[in-house]
Structure 1
């Protein structure tokens, strides 16, 4: 996971919704058909809680990972993951890299559409490159943050990501196909059933609100959250049983060189 504009990442907070956040990784991995890869790379591994699945799937492969967050790298190493601290924009595949998985990372890398063809070109013939990114930047969870940041009290304090933060599925399909790969692209909207007080606010606290928290002091950040909370509650109402539905669109692409 990339560090953006000095953003610090909290591995514990990120794992608060670990089951929900992990499901897309499983769905992505299921579409990778590699049988005996030599090297498998988890590109942007976060706290490393999913990297072990790659070793389980391909026990004879050399499995390695990288992440640009010192906190995430430390958490991954505590799990026994072989991980390097590095920015994905500086990464180049080793000649024996047969599988690359990058899960919920590239949305933090605005230039990644430019990087994808170069990465595919550097991979050996028959290699697999699999990516997953959130496709919900137009959803209320993000739109309401942008709206609040545009109000006079907060204007100019934080530069939010726009609705067009990642390409659409057809754009990924064209990009990867034009690079000469066999392509499998799809999208899924998960209906996450959340519980607890202000669960959507809690969810985005570990992701979308990280740049906001880092740009404001503690009192300002608390005030921002207090203004945002009722707007999110209105957009994502609590059901009679106390749970909250949180629709979350994700985009997947698998390319074989």
Structure 2
């Protein structure tokens, strides 16, 4: 198996507006946190470059907020741009952690994750431990992509499986179902004794510029491929050229830009006891 993908914060943030919108929609459904008589304690799992972690401080100005991620590149960017005291008297800090085995080491009032759990196989098996680490009345909230059967992903998997690429790229991508369906998340969360609100939204993202869908996936889905071919510019260029052509056919530009439908899944669960 290949190593974890190398992330590029600058590339990821090129589409920060579209990437942030689902988190804002998730945050709008997060209820007030329990009144414990102390500042709220919040964990952001898979914080990336920290740009959405900082939005938590706007909602809970005096909170102590920690972002966790396993990408050194993302953590460096997050620390540079966002770490330190917040204007409301709280604090932002960032730590290295892998979501596949992250275990809370203290009680939290909110555990939140934005577009990260799809990178952690079996993440739903961690829900019981994460919910158990919440203070009574605490909240667990997350959103994940639900577009793994979209052309952007199916074409990528098919290309990696072609004979000329299979040896180098056949095992670098996630499977076609790295997340559960909404009803499955709802059943899991209710079965753990909490209240839950689960929903989905498909955003019709209007992307602009030359080959905008390719530019989008360079920040996320393509990272494992770019990492695996990172030491071979010729091969990387050949792969990107073929994938670009496939995306152009699947997502032709219109008079106002390129429409890129993007399904997202959301869940907000509150611990009841």
Report the TM-score when normalising by structure 1: 0.94
- Segments of 4+ moved more than 3 angstroms: none
Question: Does residue 254 of structure 2 align to residue 239 of structure 1?
Answer: yes
> Residue 164 of structure 1 aligns with which residue?
177
Residue 256 (str. 1) matches residue 261 (str. 2):
no
SS at match of 1:184: strand
1:40 shift after superposition: 1.1
2:19 aligned with 1:21: yes
Question: Hey, what does 1:222 align to over in structure 2?
Answer: 237
- How many Å apart are 1:240 and its aligned residue? 2.8
Count matched residues.
253
Alignment partner, residue 63 of structure 1: 65
Q: For structure 2, list consecutive stretches of 5 or more residues without a partner in the other structure.
A: 84-92
Q: Could you list the per-position Cα deviations for residues 171-212 of structure 1 after superposition, in whole angstroms to 9, with x for gaps in the alignment? A: 100111111110000000000000111100110011111111
Determine if the alignment matches structure 1 residue 123 to structure 2 residue 134: yes
The answer as to whether partners of 1:38 and 1:96 remain within 8 angstroms in 2 is no
- d(CA) in 1 for partners of 2:79, 2:244: 35
What displacement does 1:112 show?
Answer: 0.3
- CA distance in 2: counterparts of 1:221 and 1:34, whole angstroms: 47
Q: Answer with 184-193 or 148-157: which moved more.
A: 148-157
- Segment drifting more, 133-142 vs 56-65: 56-65
- 1:136-177 CA deviation, whole Å, 9 max, x = no partner? 000000000011111110113222222211100001001111
> What is the match of residue 118 of structure 2?
107
Say if 1:136 and 1:249, in contact at 8 Å, map to a contact too.
yes
Shift of 1:94: 4.3
CA distance in 2, matches of 1:80, 1:212: 29
Q: TM-score, normalised by structure 2?
A: 0.89
Classify 1:76/1:97 alpha carbon distance in 2 versus 1 (closer, same or farther; 3 Å): same
CA drift at 1:101: 1.0
The equivalent residue for 2:76 is 74
Partner of residue 97, structure 2: 86
| 1:200 equivalent in alignment to 2:213 | yes
Could you say what secondary structure the match of 1:130 adopts?
A: strand
Alpha-carbon distance between aligned partners in 2 of 1:177 and 1:46, rounded to the nearest angstrom: 29
Distance in 2, Cα, partners of 1:89 & 1:234: 36
Contact 1:121 1:179 in 2 (8 A): no
